[in-house]
Amino acid sequence: KMRGGWVECRGDMDAFAPGLLSIYESLKPSEEHKSKQSQLIDSLAKSVSKEWPNARLHLYGSCASSFGTSHSDVDVCLEIDIGTGSVVELLLRLAEILRTDNFDDVEAITSARVPIVRMLDAGSGFSCDICINNLFAVANTKLLKDYAQIDGRLLQLASIVKHWAKLRAVNETYRGTLSSYAYVLMCISFLQLREPKILPCLQAMEPTYTMVVDDSECAYFDEVHQLHDFGAENKESIAELLWAFFHYWAFQHDYRKDVISIRMGKIISKKEKNWTTRVGNDRHLMCIEDPFETGHDLGRVVDRQTIRIIREEFERAAAILQHSDDPCDTLFQPY
Ligand code: CTP
Ligand code: MG
Protein backbone atom coordinates (compact mmCIF):
# COMPACT_ATOMS: atom_id res chain seq x y z
CA LYS A 1 0.00 0.00 0.00
CA MET A 2 1.51 3.28 -1.07
CA ARG A 3 1.11 6.58 0.68
CA GLY A 4 -0.84 9.33 -1.03
CA GLY A 5 -3.07 6.84 -2.77
CA TRP A 6 -2.23 4.58 -5.63
CA VAL A 7 -1.75 6.41 -8.89
CA GLU A 8 -0.88 4.65 -12.10
CA CYS A 9 1.16 6.31 -14.76
CA ARG A 10 -0.48 7.26 -18.03
CA GLY A 11 -0.97 4.49 -20.54
CA ASP A 12 1.28 6.00 -23.19
CA MET A 13 4.21 6.79 -20.86
CA ASP A 14 6.60 4.45 -22.70
CA ALA A 15 6.26 6.61 -25.79
CA PHE A 16 8.60 9.11 -24.09
CA ALA A 17 11.37 6.62 -23.44
CA PRO A 18 13.17 7.21 -26.78
CA GLY A 19 13.19 10.99 -26.22
CA LEU A 20 14.59 10.57 -22.72
CA LEU A 21 17.21 8.11 -23.92
CA SER A 22 18.41 10.50 -26.57
CA ILE A 23 18.80 13.20 -23.91
CA TYR A 24 20.81 10.70 -21.86
CA GLU A 25 23.01 9.89 -24.88
CA SER A 26 23.63 13.57 -25.53
CA LEU A 27 24.82 14.08 -21.95
CA LYS A 28 27.48 11.37 -22.09
CA PRO A 29 31.04 12.73 -22.20
CA SER A 30 32.73 12.23 -25.58
CA GLU A 31 35.90 10.19 -26.12
CA GLU A 32 37.75 13.44 -26.75
CA HIS A 33 36.47 14.80 -23.45
CA LYS A 34 37.67 11.68 -21.62
CA SER A 35 41.12 11.75 -23.20
CA LYS A 36 41.56 15.44 -22.30
CA GLN A 37 40.55 14.51 -18.78
CA SER A 38 43.21 11.82 -18.53
CA GLN A 39 45.84 14.20 -19.95
CA LEU A 40 45.01 16.68 -17.22
CA ILE A 41 45.28 13.97 -14.57
CA ASP A 42 48.61 12.73 -15.94
CA SER A 43 50.18 16.17 -15.81
CA LEU A 44 48.77 16.72 -12.34
CA ALA A 45 50.28 13.42 -11.19
CA LYS A 46 53.67 14.49 -12.56
CA SER A 47 53.63 17.79 -10.67
CA VAL A 48 52.59 16.13 -7.44
CA SER A 49 55.13 13.31 -7.56
CA LYS A 50 58.06 15.72 -7.94
CA GLU A 51 57.25 17.22 -4.55
CA TRP A 52 55.73 14.18 -2.80
CA PRO A 53 57.02 10.94 -4.35
CA ASN A 54 54.98 8.79 -1.95
CA ALA A 55 51.65 10.49 -2.50
CA ARG A 56 48.88 8.84 -4.53
CA LEU A 57 46.26 10.46 -6.69
CA HIS A 58 42.74 9.01 -6.79
CA LEU A 59 39.97 10.10 -9.09
CA TYR A 60 36.56 10.26 -7.45
CA GLY A 61 33.18 11.82 -8.15
CA SER A 62 31.37 11.51 -11.42
CA CYS A 63 34.49 11.36 -13.62
CA ALA A 64 35.33 8.06 -11.88
CA SER A 65 31.91 6.68 -10.98
CA SER A 66 30.65 6.70 -14.61
CA PHE A 67 27.88 9.16 -13.65
CA GLY A 68 29.76 11.95 -15.43
CA THR A 69 28.41 14.19 -18.14
CA SER A 70 30.22 16.60 -20.44
CA HIS A 71 29.48 19.30 -17.83
CA SER A 72 30.99 17.46 -14.87
CA ASP A 73 34.09 18.67 -13.11
CA VAL A 74 37.12 16.51 -12.31
CA ASP A 75 37.39 15.49 -8.66
CA VAL A 76 40.80 14.35 -7.42
CA CYS A 77 41.90 13.18 -4.01
CA LEU A 78 45.53 13.32 -2.93
CA GLU A 79 46.39 10.53 -0.49
CA ILE A 80 49.37 11.64 1.53
CA ASP A 81 50.89 11.29 4.98
CA ILE A 82 50.63 14.79 6.44
CA GLY A 83 52.59 13.90 9.59
CA THR A 84 52.67 16.89 11.90
CA GLY A 85 51.71 19.41 9.21
CA SER A 86 48.20 20.63 8.49
CA VAL A 87 45.89 20.07 5.52
CA VAL A 88 45.70 23.81 4.93
CA GLU A 89 49.50 24.20 4.76
CA LEU A 90 49.62 21.32 2.36
CA LEU A 91 46.94 22.78 0.11
CA LEU A 92 48.71 26.14 0.01
CA ARG A 93 51.94 24.41 -0.99
CA LEU A 94 50.07 22.39 -3.62
CA ALA A 95 48.57 25.56 -5.07
CA GLU A 96 52.06 27.08 -5.29
CA ILE A 97 53.43 24.05 -7.11
CA LEU A 98 50.57 23.96 -9.60
CA ARG A 99 50.99 27.66 -10.39
CA THR A 100 54.72 27.11 -11.00
CA ASP A 101 53.85 24.25 -13.34
CA ASN A 102 51.58 26.56 -15.34
CA PHE A 103 48.15 25.30 -14.39
CA ASP A 104 45.52 28.03 -14.81
CA ASP A 105 43.44 29.88 -12.22
CA VAL A 106 44.75 27.94 -9.23
CA GLU A 107 42.99 28.80 -6.00
CA ALA A 108 43.21 27.26 -2.51
CA ILE A 109 39.77 27.21 -0.87
CA THR A 110 40.67 26.46 2.72
CA SER A 111 37.56 27.63 4.56
CA ALA A 112 35.17 25.08 3.02
CA ARG A 113 33.89 22.05 4.95
CA VAL A 114 36.17 20.00 2.71
CA PRO A 115 39.15 22.27 1.93
CA ILE A 116 40.35 22.01 -1.66
CA VAL A 117 42.57 23.45 -4.35
CA ARG A 118 40.50 24.39 -7.37
CA MET A 119 41.87 25.09 -10.82
CA LEU A 120 40.55 25.68 -14.26
CA ASP A 121 42.31 23.98 -17.15
CA ALA A 122 42.09 26.61 -19.88
CA GLY A 123 42.90 24.19 -22.69
CA SER A 124 40.06 21.81 -21.96
CA GLY A 125 37.76 24.12 -19.98
CA PHE A 126 37.62 21.65 -17.08
CA SER A 127 37.29 22.71 -13.55
CA CYS A 128 39.27 20.44 -11.24
CA ASP A 129 38.97 20.14 -7.45
CA ILE A 130 41.74 18.52 -5.43
CA CYS A 131 41.15 17.47 -1.83
CA ILE A 132 43.41 15.74 0.68
CA ASN A 133 42.87 12.26 2.16
CA ASN A 134 39.13 12.19 1.58
CA LEU A 135 39.14 8.42 1.19
CA PHE A 136 35.46 7.99 2.06
CA ALA A 137 34.73 9.78 -1.18
CA VAL A 138 37.01 7.36 -3.04
CA ALA A 139 35.20 4.41 -1.44
CA ASN A 140 31.68 5.70 -2.13
CA THR A 141 32.68 6.48 -5.72
CA LYS A 142 33.60 2.83 -6.25
CA LEU A 143 30.28 1.74 -4.69
CA LEU A 144 28.34 3.99 -7.10
CA LYS A 145 30.35 2.71 -10.04
CA ASP A 146 29.65 -0.89 -9.07
CA TYR A 147 25.91 -0.22 -8.76
CA ALA A 148 25.96 1.36 -12.21
CA GLN A 149 27.23 -1.89 -13.74
CA ILE A 150 24.30 -3.97 -12.48
CA ASP A 151 21.47 -2.38 -14.46
CA GLY A 152 21.82 0.24 -17.20
CA ARG A 153 18.68 2.02 -16.05
CA LEU A 154 20.51 3.44 -13.02
CA LEU A 155 22.91 5.46 -15.15
CA GLN A 156 20.07 6.63 -17.40
CA LEU A 157 17.84 7.64 -14.50
CA ALA A 158 20.60 9.34 -12.50
CA SER A 159 21.98 11.27 -15.50
CA ILE A 160 18.53 12.55 -16.41
CA VAL A 161 17.72 13.47 -12.80
CA LYS A 162 21.06 15.29 -12.39
CA HIS A 163 20.49 17.15 -15.65
CA TRP A 164 16.98 18.12 -14.54
CA ALA A 165 18.24 19.23 -11.11
CA LYS A 166 20.93 21.47 -12.66
CA LEU A 167 18.48 23.12 -15.06
CA ARG A 168 15.83 23.58 -12.38
CA ALA A 169 18.40 25.08 -9.96
CA VAL A 170 17.93 22.44 -7.25
CA ASN A 171 21.55 21.14 -7.40
CA GLU A 172 23.26 23.92 -5.42
CA THR A 173 24.34 22.87 -1.92
CA TYR A 174 25.56 26.38 -1.07
CA ARG A 175 21.97 27.53 -1.57
CA GLY A 176 20.33 24.76 0.43
CA THR A 177 19.51 22.27 -2.31
CA LEU A 178 21.02 18.84 -2.94
CA SER A 179 24.38 17.67 -4.30
CA SER A 180 24.66 15.49 -7.38
CA TYR A 181 25.86 12.74 -5.05
CA ALA A 182 22.61 12.97 -3.06
CA TYR A 183 20.55 12.62 -6.24
CA VAL A 184 22.49 9.50 -7.26
CA LEU A 185 21.85 7.95 -3.81
CA MET A 186 18.15 8.77 -4.20
CA CYS A 187 18.11 6.96 -7.56
CA ILE A 188 19.89 3.87 -6.18
CA SER A 189 17.53 3.66 -3.22
CA PHE A 190 14.52 4.07 -5.51
CA LEU A 191 15.65 1.21 -7.78
CA GLN A 192 16.31 -1.00 -4.73
CA LEU A 193 12.68 -0.47 -3.74
CA ARG A 194 10.99 -1.26 -7.06
CA GLU A 195 8.87 -4.41 -7.34
CA PRO A 196 10.49 -6.49 -8.79
CA LYS A 197 13.75 -4.99 -7.59
CA ILE A 198 16.06 -3.40 -10.17
CA LEU A 199 19.07 -3.16 -7.83
CA PRO A 200 20.21 -5.33 -4.91
CA CYS A 201 21.67 -4.03 -1.65
CA LEU A 202 25.41 -4.67 -2.05
CA GLN A 203 26.21 -3.81 1.58
CA ALA A 204 23.78 -6.47 2.81
CA MET A 205 25.57 -9.21 0.85
CA GLU A 206 28.69 -11.23 1.73
CA PRO A 207 31.55 -8.70 1.36
CA THR A 208 34.13 -9.33 -1.35
CA TYR A 209 35.71 -5.91 -1.03
CA THR A 210 36.88 -4.02 2.05
CA MET A 211 38.54 -0.66 2.39
CA VAL A 212 39.45 0.68 5.81
CA VAL A 213 39.06 4.44 6.16
CA ASP A 214 39.69 6.23 9.47
CA ASP A 215 39.23 2.98 11.45
CA SER A 216 35.91 2.26 9.84
CA GLU A 217 35.30 -0.53 7.36
CA CYS A 218 33.73 0.11 3.98
CA ALA A 219 32.72 -3.41 2.95
CA TYR A 220 30.34 -4.79 0.35
CA PHE A 221 29.85 -7.35 -2.40
CA ASP A 222 31.65 -5.97 -5.46
CA GLU A 223 31.63 -8.91 -7.89
CA VAL A 224 28.87 -7.21 -9.78
CA HIS A 225 29.45 -9.07 -13.05
CA GLN A 226 27.62 -11.92 -11.30
CA LEU A 227 24.57 -9.67 -10.97
CA HIS A 228 24.25 -8.38 -14.53
CA ASP A 229 20.71 -9.77 -14.95
CA PHE A 230 19.54 -8.92 -11.43
CA GLY A 231 16.89 -6.45 -12.60
CA ALA A 232 15.83 -8.38 -15.71
CA GLU A 233 12.45 -9.39 -14.30
CA ASN A 234 11.47 -5.76 -13.99
CA LYS A 235 10.52 -4.45 -17.45
CA GLU A 236 9.84 -0.82 -16.55
CA SER A 237 11.09 1.71 -19.09
CA ILE A 238 13.13 4.77 -18.25
CA ALA A 239 10.01 6.92 -18.81
CA GLU A 240 7.94 4.99 -16.26
CA LEU A 241 10.83 4.99 -13.80
CA LEU A 242 11.49 8.71 -14.12
CA TRP A 243 7.83 9.49 -13.52
CA ALA A 244 7.67 7.05 -10.57
CA PHE A 245 10.82 8.61 -9.09
CA PHE A 246 9.33 12.10 -9.12
CA HIS A 247 5.96 10.78 -7.98
CA TYR A 248 7.61 9.02 -5.05
CA TRP A 249 9.46 12.14 -3.90
CA ALA A 250 6.44 14.38 -4.51
CA PHE A 251 3.71 12.29 -2.85
CA GLN A 252 4.86 9.04 -1.28
CA HIS A 253 7.98 9.76 0.74
CA ASP A 254 7.13 10.52 4.37
CA TYR A 255 9.34 13.52 5.07
CA ARG A 256 8.44 13.45 8.77
CA LYS A 257 9.61 9.91 9.46
CA ASP A 258 11.61 8.38 6.61
CA VAL A 259 15.32 8.09 5.94
CA ILE A 260 16.45 6.54 2.67
CA SER A 261 19.34 4.14 3.13
CA ILE A 262 21.12 2.36 0.28
CA ARG A 263 23.22 0.67 2.98
CA MET A 264 20.13 -1.17 4.25
CA GLY A 265 18.35 -1.32 0.89
CA LYS A 266 15.18 0.00 2.46
CA ILE A 267 13.55 2.96 4.15
CA ILE A 268 14.58 3.33 7.77
CA SER A 269 13.23 5.73 10.39
CA LYS A 270 14.52 9.04 11.66
CA LYS A 271 13.86 7.71 15.14
CA GLU A 272 16.34 4.86 14.91
CA LYS A 273 18.97 7.28 13.56
CA ASN A 274 18.24 9.87 16.23
CA TRP A 275 17.59 12.35 13.45
CA THR A 276 14.36 13.63 14.93
CA THR A 277 15.50 16.98 16.23
CA ARG A 278 17.75 19.65 14.89
CA VAL A 279 21.35 19.23 15.98
CA GLY A 280 23.49 22.28 15.24
CA ASN A 281 22.94 23.06 11.59
CA ASP A 282 21.57 19.62 10.72
CA ARG A 283 17.82 20.01 10.40
CA HIS A 284 17.08 16.56 8.97
CA LEU A 285 14.09 17.73 6.94
CA MET A 286 14.90 15.38 4.08
CA CYS A 287 17.00 12.42 5.14
CA ILE A 288 19.48 10.64 2.89
CA GLU A 289 21.94 8.43 4.75
CA ASP A 290 25.50 8.23 3.45
CA PRO A 291 26.33 4.55 2.78
CA PHE A 292 29.65 4.55 4.70
CA GLU A 293 29.65 7.68 6.87
CA THR A 294 26.32 6.66 8.33
CA GLY A 295 26.16 9.70 10.63
CA HIS A 296 26.05 11.92 7.53
CA ASP A 297 22.69 13.05 6.24
CA LEU A 298 23.15 14.31 2.66
CA GLY A 299 19.94 16.27 3.12
CA ARG A 300 21.38 18.29 6.00
CA VAL A 301 21.82 21.31 3.70
CA VAL A 302 18.06 21.56 3.16
CA ASP A 303 16.14 24.12 5.22
CA ARG A 304 12.44 25.01 5.67
CA GLN A 305 12.43 27.21 2.60
CA THR A 306 14.43 25.04 0.23
CA ILE A 307 12.53 21.87 1.11
CA ARG A 308 9.41 23.59 -0.19
CA ILE A 309 11.17 24.55 -3.40
CA ILE A 310 12.54 21.03 -3.91
CA ARG A 311 9.16 19.36 -3.25
CA GLU A 312 7.42 21.75 -5.63
CA GLU A 313 9.95 20.82 -8.29
CA PHE A 314 9.24 17.11 -7.74
CA GLU A 315 5.52 17.79 -8.07
CA ARG A 316 6.02 19.87 -11.19
CA ALA A 317 8.14 17.14 -12.80
CA ALA A 318 5.65 14.38 -11.93
CA ALA A 319 2.75 16.43 -13.29
CA ILE A 320 4.54 17.24 -16.55
CA LEU A 321 5.40 13.61 -17.18
CA GLN A 322 1.85 12.59 -16.35
CA HIS A 323 -0.07 15.21 -18.35
CA SER A 324 2.05 17.15 -20.83
CA ASP A 325 1.91 16.52 -24.58
CA ASP A 326 5.62 17.18 -24.91
CA PRO A 327 7.11 16.34 -21.49
CA CYS A 328 10.74 16.00 -22.60
CA ASP A 329 10.78 19.66 -23.59
CA THR A 330 8.87 21.18 -20.68
CA LEU A 331 10.55 19.11 -17.99
CA PHE A 332 14.01 20.55 -18.65
CA GLN A 333 12.99 24.16 -19.15
CA PRO A 334 15.56 26.22 -17.21
CA TYR A 335 14.23 27.75 -14.04
N1 CTP B 1 30.84 13.44 -1.87
C2 CTP B 1 30.74 12.95 -0.58
N3 CTP B 1 29.92 13.56 0.32
C4 CTP B 1 29.19 14.64 -0.05
C5 CTP B 1 29.27 15.16 -1.35
C6 CTP B 1 30.11 14.52 -2.24
O7 CTP B 1 31.38 11.95 -0.26
N8 CTP B 1 28.40 15.24 0.86
C9 CTP B 1 31.78 12.79 -2.80
C10 CTP B 1 31.18 11.60 -3.51
O11 CTP B 1 32.21 10.64 -3.69
C12 CTP B 1 30.82 12.16 -4.87
C13 CTP B 1 31.90 13.21 -5.06
O14 CTP B 1 32.17 13.71 -3.77
O15 CTP B 1 30.86 11.16 -5.86
C16 CTP B 1 31.53 14.35 -5.99
O17 CTP B 1 30.35 14.95 -5.54
P18 CTP B 1 29.39 15.74 -6.49
O19 CTP B 1 30.13 16.83 -7.18
O20 CTP B 1 28.15 16.04 -5.73
O21 CTP B 1 28.98 14.62 -7.53
P22 CTP B 1 29.40 14.36 -9.00
O23 CTP B 1 28.80 13.02 -9.30
O24 CTP B 1 30.85 14.53 -9.21
O25 CTP B 1 28.56 15.45 -9.77
P26 CTP B 1 28.83 16.36 -11.03
O27 CTP B 1 28.73 15.45 -12.23
O28 CTP B 1 27.71 17.35 -10.94
O29 CTP B 1 30.21 16.94 -10.87
MG1 MG C 1 31.94 16.26 -9.55
For residues 91-108, give the mean pLDDT. Answer: 95
Do 37 and 23 share a structural domain? no
Query: How many angstroms separate the Cα of 124 from the Cα of each of 25, 96, 132?
Result: 21, 21, 24
pLDDT attached to residue 69:
87
Distance from residue 148's CA to the centre of ligand 2 (Å) = 16
Report the side by side order of strands in the sheet with 116-121.
56-60, 74-79, 126-132, 116-121, 107-109
Q: Is ligand 1 within 6 A of the CB of residue 298?
A: yes
Do 320 and 191 share a structural domain? yes
Residue 112 is assigned to a structural domain of this protein:
yes
Do 162 and 239 share a structural domain? yes
Atom of ligand 1 nearest to the CA of 173: 20
Residue 283 is assigned to a structural domain of this protein:
yes
CATH of the domain at 199: 1.10.1410.10
Q: How many domains does the chain have?
A: 2
**DSSP 8-state code for residue 207:** P
For residues 149-167, give the mean pLDDT. Answer: 97
Helix-strand-coil split of the chain, %, nearest 5: 45, 15, 40
> For 188-203, what is each residue's pLDDT tens digit?
999 999 999 999 999 9
Distance from residue 119's CA to the centre of ligand 2 (Å) = 13
Averaged confidence pLDDT in the chain = 94
> For 124-144, what is each residue's pLDDT tens digit?
788 999 999 999 999 999 999
Is it the case that residue 52 has pLDDT exceeding 70? yes
Closest alpha carbon to 11 in 323, 326, 294:
323
pLDDT attached to residue 126:
86
Closest alpha carbon to 99 in 44, 57, 38, 60:
44
Does the interface ipTM go beyond 0.90? yes
Domain region containing 82: 31-136
Closest alpha carbon to 95 in 135, 129, 56, 54:
129
> For 220-250, what is each residue's pLDDT tens digit?
999 999 999 999 999 999 999 999 999 999 9
Structural domain ending residue among the three candidates 68, 102, 136: 136
pLDDT attached to residue 4:
54
pLDDT attached to residue 130:
97
> For 286-326, what is each residue's pLDDT tens digit?
999 999 999 999 999 999 999 999 999 999 999 999 999 99
Residue 1 is assigned to a structural domain of this protein:
no
Q: End-to-end CA distance of the chain: give it in Å, rounded.
A: 34
Residue 141 is assigned to a structural domain of this protein:
no
Structural domain ending residue among the three candidates 136, 162, 181: 136
Of the residues 65, 75, 154, which should be mutated to test ligand 1's pocket, given the most ligand atoms within 8 Å of the CB? 75
Do 319 and 191 share a structural domain? yes
For residues 148-176, give the mean pLDDT. Answer: 97
CATH of the domain at 53: 3.30.460.10
Do 159 and 19 share a structural domain? yes
Do 111 and 98 share a structural domain? yes
Do 166 and 290 share a structural domain? yes
Residues 6+ apart with CB under 8 A from 87: 115, 132, 133
Q: Is ligand 1 within 6 A of the CB of residue 165?
A: no
Do 107 and 179 share a structural domain? no
Query: How many angstroms separate the Cα of 166 from the Cα of each of 137, 163, 193?
Result: 21, 5, 25
Closest alpha carbon to 158 in 264, 27, 31:
27
Do 117 and 60 share a structural domain? yes
pLDDT attached to residue 1:
37
For residues 53-78, give the mean pLDDT. Answer: 93
Do 234 and 132 share a structural domain? no
Band of the pLDDT at 277, cuts 50, 70, 90?
confident
Partners of 260 in the β-ladder = 267, 288
Structural domain ending residue among the three candidates 80, 103, 136: 136
Do 272 and 204 share a structural domain? yes
Atom of ligand 1 nearest to the CA of 67: 23
Closest alpha carbon to 298 in 177, 200, 217, 134:
177
Atom of ligand 1 nearest to the CA of 63: 24
Residue 269 is assigned to a structural domain of this protein:
yes
Band of the pLDDT at 3, cuts 50, 70, 90?
low
- For residues 237 and 17, is the Cβ–Cβ distance under 8 A? yes
Do 200 and 90 share a structural domain? no
Query: How many angstroms separate the Cα of 237 from the Cα of each of 7, 126, 225, 316?
Result: 17, 33, 22, 20
